[in-house]
Amino acid sequence: MSGMSVNDRAFAIATFRFISVRLMEIVARWTPTTPEMEVKIVFGRHIWDFAQHADILGKRTFELRQPEQFSKRPVDAYVDLLDKMSELRSTSERLGALYDGLLPALEKRYRDYIAAADPILDEPTVVIFDRIVADLRRMRGDADAVRRERAIGMWDSSAIAGAEREIARIVA
């Protein structure tokens, strides 16, 4: 990533922003149709987290000579994966797909960017991504806690995780 141009970095960040906005929208759509109040509360907190991520990523795109709050649609396979995930109906499916399937893989994409980034030229992005990674870990812990509290069964998230891993690049 250290060999990436300013534009390349902006497009990568804008893609992560698109994903944050989309996850915010998916969880917001799930919330009214999720029966467990405790899960609704967790979803509400995480909608706010995704909105905060989208905002700070959008501000960073402006610093990299793109419009403020610029989003870039990821590759079609990633959008398709998000679309499939959004259609899940049961609470266990939703929790499993998002917190066990998608977020660990997304967290890895953030960490891979951090590991490859130039720590001087791209320090602001690294700081932002470090915060997002910490938030994603906390969010996953929140989901585990509400599953235990409400005795919500685990859902096999391997299909979501596997589909995510098969997508080599998310930036279109």
In angstroms, the CA 95 to CA 10 distance is 31
In angstroms, the CA 122 to CA 119 distance is 6
Tell me whether residue 41 is in a domain.
yes
Tell me whether residue 160 is in a domain.
yes
How does pLDDT run across 104-158, given as a tens digit for each residue? 999 999 999 999 999 999 999 999 999 999 999 999 999 999 999 999 999 999 9
Number of domains composing the chain: 1
Q: For the chain, what is the mean pLDDT? A: 96
How does pLDDT run across 47-62, given as a tens digit for each residue? 999 999 999 999 999 9
Return the number of other C-beta atoms located less than 10 Å from residue 153's C-beta. Answer: 11
Tell me whether residue 1 is in a domain.
no
Q: By C-alpha distance, which of 103, 79, 91 is closest to 40? A: 91
The tokens for 159 are 């299909």
Tell me whether residue 171 is in a domain.
no
The type of residue at 112 is D
In angstroms, the CA 103 to CA 54 distance is 15
* Residue numbers of the domain that contains 83: 6-166
pTM over 0.85: yes
Q: By C-alpha distance, which of 36, 68, 46, 74 is closest to 55? A: 68
Q: Where residue 152 sits, what CATH number does that domain have?
A: 1.20.1260.10
Strands of the chain (E only): list them: none
Residue 54's alpha-carbon distances to 35, 37, 58, 103, 148, in angstroms, are 27, 26, 6, 15, 29
Angle at 34 between CA 76 and CA 41, to 5 degrees: 100
